[in-house]
A = this chain, B = another copy of it.
């Protein structure tokens, strides 16, 4: 055996310093840490579940699972967006089976109990003869909802800070991107066999781009990143487009500009991670948004939407696939290396490894993450 190699299967005694090295193994594989994350992060923080344009009319709804809880996100008759647990108050039946839809009211498929779009029980056959039954006590369970730049967020905790205070640091920062008015042209869902934190760490650096993303690296130099948010729940900055007008298969813009893009920003893509589950990638002509949903320590469901200016739709110069395909290829390259990392990290041989200077944002993301799990180390 060589003297300059370590013994892999002996005991690791290195001390851990958050952000200097990658996280210890248990953060990627342990059921207990996964459960703690679901409780302390996904049940306590504001998480992105979609965009207001996806439920434009009264009665439009979609269903999203947050920390294991199926929620109905629905627009009511007054235009208000509400969040309700997808569980009948009678015998616990799942109310909405479809991922999205439109309905005048929410009716249980079992015994036809019926709820208004604001959650009130308005019909319960035969319950009038049940002694002491009071309809007003059987509204649907509610969850808090709030909007940020047109995106719908929910928070399972009743006592956490309001969204506008949590997001205060971003107030006005993205106004000229016109986010509230955009509309999604396509969604792709990915099922990735890797821990959700690997997805964020991967998104947060381009050190891997030369080897992993040959197509992207040709048009956006991996060392062109300039970050303006370097610590905390919101992290990122821009990278340059050195060739072509946007990140598309053709290299051309594929739609009207999304907003009031000024000067050099026409040749930049802005990449921000919004803790804990949103990735916001703003191009001159489209905005890509990833929702990152952990489903197991080694598994993550990702919803990826491509948003465009509402007036871009239907025009002759509207080619959304040009952008979608570019990133679908690139996304899959990322998921592959995340999956390989998951495999290696699950090994007894894994030890936290050193972050390079090119990985300052993943390191910052780890620090933010650890602030939410102070007792897990």
Size class of the A contact interface (CB-based, 8 Å): 35 or more
What's the minimum C-beta distance from A13 to chain B, rounded to whole angstroms? 14
Contact present for B139 and A341 (CB under 8 Å): no
- B10, B87, B340, B341: the one contacting A347 at CB < 8 Å is B87
Taken residue by residue from 348 to 370, chain A's Cβ proximity to chain B (1 for < 8 Å, 0 otherwise) reads as 11110111111000000000000
Q: Which residues of B contact A356 (CB under 8 A)?
A: 111, 124-127, 129-130
Asked if A93 lies at the interface with its beta carbon under 8 angstroms from chain B, I say yes
Asked if A343 lies at the interface with its beta carbon under 8 angstroms from chain B, I say yes
**How far is A144 from B1 in the complex, measured between Cα atoms in Å?**
7
Asked if A158 lies at the interface with its beta carbon under 8 angstroms from chain B, I say yes
Closest to A141 in B: B8
- B120, B127, B353, B358: the one contacting A92 at CB < 8 Å is B353
Contact present for B344 and A8 (CB under 8 Å): no
Asked if A112 lies at the interface with its beta carbon under 8 angstroms from chain B, I say yes
Contact present for A129 and B357 (CB under 8 Å): yes
Q: Which residues of B contact A345 (CB under 8 A)?
A: 87, 92
Q: Which residues of B contact A351 (CB under 8 A)?
A: 89
- B68, B95, B126: the one contacting A207 at CB < 8 Å is B126
Contact present for A110 and B337 (CB under 8 Å): yes
What's the minimum C-beta distance from A363 to chain B, rounded to whole angstroms? 11
Contact present for B207 and A70 (CB under 8 Å): no
**How far is A230 from B349 in the complex, measured between Cα atoms in Å?**
38
**How far is A342 from B340 in the complex, measured between Cα atoms in Å?**
34
Closest to A22 in B: B91
Known: A1-B158, A89-B351, A138-B353. 7 other contacts (CB 8 A): A4-B120, A5-B142, A68-B348, A87-B345, A92-B344, A126-B356, A127-B356
For window 205-248 of A, CB contacts with B under 8 Å fall at 207-208, 210-212
Contact present for B69 and A358 (CB under 8 Å): no
**How far is A206 from B109 in the complex, measured between Cα atoms in Å?**
14
What's the minimum C-beta distance from A99 to chain B, rounded to whole angstroms? 14
Taken residue by residue from 268 to 312, chain A's Cβ proximity to chain B (1 for < 8 Å, 0 otherwise) reads as 000000000000000000000000000000000000000000000
Contact present for B91 and A341 (CB under 8 Å): yes
Given contacts A110-B212, A111-B211, contact A343 B70 (CB under 8 A): yes
